[in-house]
Structure 1
Amino acid sequence: MGEVIAPLTVYYDAERLTCVVVNALRGPQVTLNGLPLVGRVPSALDDAFTEYASARGHGRRYYAYGELAWEELGVILRAQRAGDVVLSRPVFVGQARAESCSDASEGRIPEAEWHNRPW
């Protein structure tokens, strides 16, 4: 029997939930006012996400790995390899961790999410 891969990865600090990551292939679809965020081709999602953010007075921000983030919402649209394609793997953080969440060296996303590839 193969390895079981979770649809969600959750991270905690000493007391509370700090981050939720949705697996691009196995996770539930999560939407932002009707905009699907999970399992999409990153270039198409980047355009739609940027349009959504711009309409609300926010710009786009890319972090060191080239993935789109909206720090005010605590969302990073990471990419997950799925065979020969790459699909969106959104990362959600709470308000207390949203500032600088897109900074891979100084941000508040757990290190395991940046470096481990459980899929």
Structure 2
Amino acid sequence: MAKFASLLEKLSKDDVAGCFEYYAELAEGLDAKQKAPITLPMETFNTHVLKEPIGVVGLITPWTCLELSDVCREVGLPPGILNILTGLGPDAGAPLASHPHVDKITFIGSTATGSRIMAATAQIVKV
């Protein structure tokens, strides 16, 4: 954790903003690929790309992401798009992972934590 914290101290807000801009541009590019035909070796098949929103996504991450809300506010993300809940695994992560209205879960953490999340989400298939 100390190694990660020292890396964070070296990052500037410009570095973080650049990362967000990069992924925002990738997301905007998805519209151009919507319904794009895919060429297959067999003419009997007709396929195309269809990108659809996932819905509510829960991100289980270390405490170091708390400044994300400040960054999102500064860049004008509308209220309610990003909600950050804090708490320990049993009180925050477990309810998110097992909630039927959370459509996808991502996490950053240990293999043991990942196993518990997979077990919880497998009951309602969201991984």
Which protein has the bigger strand share? 1
Query: What's the TM-score, normalizing by structure 2?
Result: 0.26
Higher-Rg structure is 2
